[in-house]
Copies of this chain bind each other. A is one copy, B any other.
Amino acid sequence: MHEEGKKWHAHALFARRFEIVIQVLIIVSIVMFCIETLPDLDPGIRAVFGIVETVIVLVFSVEYVARVILSKNRWGYVFSFFGLVDLLAILPFYLSLGIDLRSVRIFRLFRLFRALKLLRYSRAANRFSRAFVIVREELILFALATGMMLFLSAVGIYYFENEAQPEAFVSVFHSLWWAVTTLTTVGYGDMYPVTVGGRIFSFFVLMLGLGIVAVPAGLVSSALSKARFEEELEEERQQQER
C-alpha cells in the first residue's frame, strides 16, 4: 500500500511537471509568434526562433503521438475537440516545410489553437460550461434579437445618412459596420450620423439596442452565480452522505 502510494505520487509529480513544461512551451511559442510579426525583426533572432519553433513542434508531436497511443479510445481522442486542437497546433509546421511559405501563411492562424491548449489544463472551466448550458436558450434568443436590431439600425441609418454622406454610408453593408460599432458602444468615430433625422434615429436605436446588447452579460453573470450555488449544494449533499 505504502509502495503503491509512493509510485502514484511520483507518477502524479511527473505528470504535473510535464504539464507545466508543455504550458511554458505553449506560451514561449505564442510570444515568439507575436514577435515574428514585427516588421523590422533582426534575421539572427528570426533564425533562432526557427530553431526553437522546430524543437517545440517536435515536443508537441511526441506529446500528440503519445496521447494517441496511450488513450483507450484512439479515434475518439483524434476527433475530439482537443485532439483536433493538438493536431492543428503542429500540422501547419509540417505543411509549411514542403510548399511555399507565403501562400500557406494563412494556415498559421490555426497555430493559435495552441493557445486553446491552455484551457485544457484548467479544471475551473467546468463551471463556465455549466453556466452556458443554463443560459444557452436566452443567449440564442438575444443573438437573434441583436442580429435583427443590427439589421434594422443599419437600414434606418442608411436611409437617413446615405444622401448626406454617400462616401461613408455607401450601402446597408457599410451601415452595418456603423450599427456594430454604435450598439456595442465602441464608437471609433470613423462613421457617425450628421443629419438631424439620423441623430434622432441613433438616439432611439441606442435606447432600445443597449439593453439587447448589454443584457446577455447580466444573464451569464447570474447563471455563473447559479452554477456556483448548485455546486455548493452538491458538495454539501456529498459531505452529508459521507
List the interface of chain A (C-beta within 8 A of B). Answer: 30, 33-34, 37-39, 106, 109, 112, 115-116, 118-119, 122, 124-125, 127-128, 137-138, 140-141, 143-146, 148, 151-152, 155-156, 158-159, 162, 166, 170-173, 177, 180-182, 184-190, 192, 196, 199, 202-203, 206-207, 210-211, 213-222, 224-225, 228
Report 21 cross-chain contacts, Cβ distance below 8 Å, ordered by A residue.
A30-B151, A38-B170, A38-B171, A39-B171, A112-B155, A115-B148, A115-B151, A116-B148, A122-B141, A122-B144, A124-B140, A128-B145, A138-B224, A180-B199, A181-B187, A181-B192, A184-B185, A186-B206, A215-B224, A218-B220, A218-B221
A214-B215 in contact (CB<8A): no
Main secondary structure of the interface of A (DSSP, over half): helix
**Most chain B CB neighbours (cut-off 10 Å) among A140, A146, A199:** A199
B34 touches A171 (CB 8 A): yes
CA distance A159 to B112 in the complex (A): 12
Closest-CB distance, A31 to chain B (whole angstroms): 10
